[in-house]
Amino acid sequence: MLKEYLKDDYMQHVSCLDSWEEAIAVAADPLLKSRIIEESYIQAMIDSVEKNGPYIVLKDYFALPHAKAGEGVNDVGLSLLLLDEPVDLKGNPVKVFLVLAAVDHTSHLKALSEISELLMNDETYEQFLANDLAEIKKLL
Amino acid sequence: MYKFLAVCGFGVGSSLVLKMSIEKAAKERGVECEVENMDLSSAKGTNADAVFTSQELGDELKTATKSPVYPIQRYMDKEEVGQALDDFLG
Q: What pLDDT is recorded for position A67?
A: 96
Average pLDDT over residues B24-43: 96
Q: How far does B90 lie from chain A, in Å, by closest CA?
A: 25
Helix (H, G, I), strand (E, B) or coil at A108: coil
Chain B CB within 8 Å of residue A67 CB: yes
Q: Where are the alpha helices (DSSP H) in chain B?
A: 14-29, 40-44, 55-62, 78-89
In this predicted structure, what is the pLDDT of residue A1?
78
* Nearest chain A residue (CA) to B11: A105
Q: Quote the Cα angle for B59-B45-A110, to 5°.
A: 90
Q: Look at B76 and A62 and tell me if their CB atoms are within 8 Å.
A: yes
Q: Rounded to whole angstroms, how far apart are CA atoms A4 and A53?
A: 30
A58 closest CA partner among B10, B51, B54: B54
Please tell me whether the interface predicted TM-score (ipTM) of this complex is above 0.90.
Answer: yes
Helices and strands (DSSP H and E) totals, chain A:
6, 5
User: How many other CB atoms are there within 10 angstroms of residue A4's CB atom?
Assistant: 11
Question: Percentages helix, strand, coil for chain B, rounded to the nearest 5?
Answer: 45, 25, 30
Alpha-carbon A40 to chain mean position = 16
- Taking 90 as the threshold, does the pLDDT of residue B1 lie above it? yes
Strand A77-89 to A92-101 pairing: antiparallel
Q: What is the mean pLDDT of each run of 10 residues along chain A (140 residues)?
A: 92 96 98 98 97 95 97 98 97 98 94 95 94 90
- Nearest chain A residue to B77, by CA: A59
Domains of chain A: 2-139 (3.40.930.10)
The catalytic site residues of A sit at 66
Supply angle C-alpha A97, A34, B13, rounded to 5.
40
> Do the Cβ atoms of B77 and A113 come within 8 Å?
no
Are B75 and A55 inside 8 Å of each other by CB? yes
For chain B, domain boundaries: 2-89
pTM score of the predicted model? 0.95
Band the pLDDT of B67: cuts 50, 70, 90.
Answer: very high
| The predicted structure's pLDDT at residue A5 | 95
Instruction: Select from B72, B73, B60, B90 the least CA-distant residue to B35.
Output: B72
**DSSP-based three-state secondary structure for B29:** helix
Neighbours of A11 (CB within 10 A): 19
Spatial contact of B76 and A59, defined as CB atoms under 8 Å apart: yes
Q: Which CATH architecture has domain B2-89?
A: 3-Layer(aba) Sandwich (3.40)
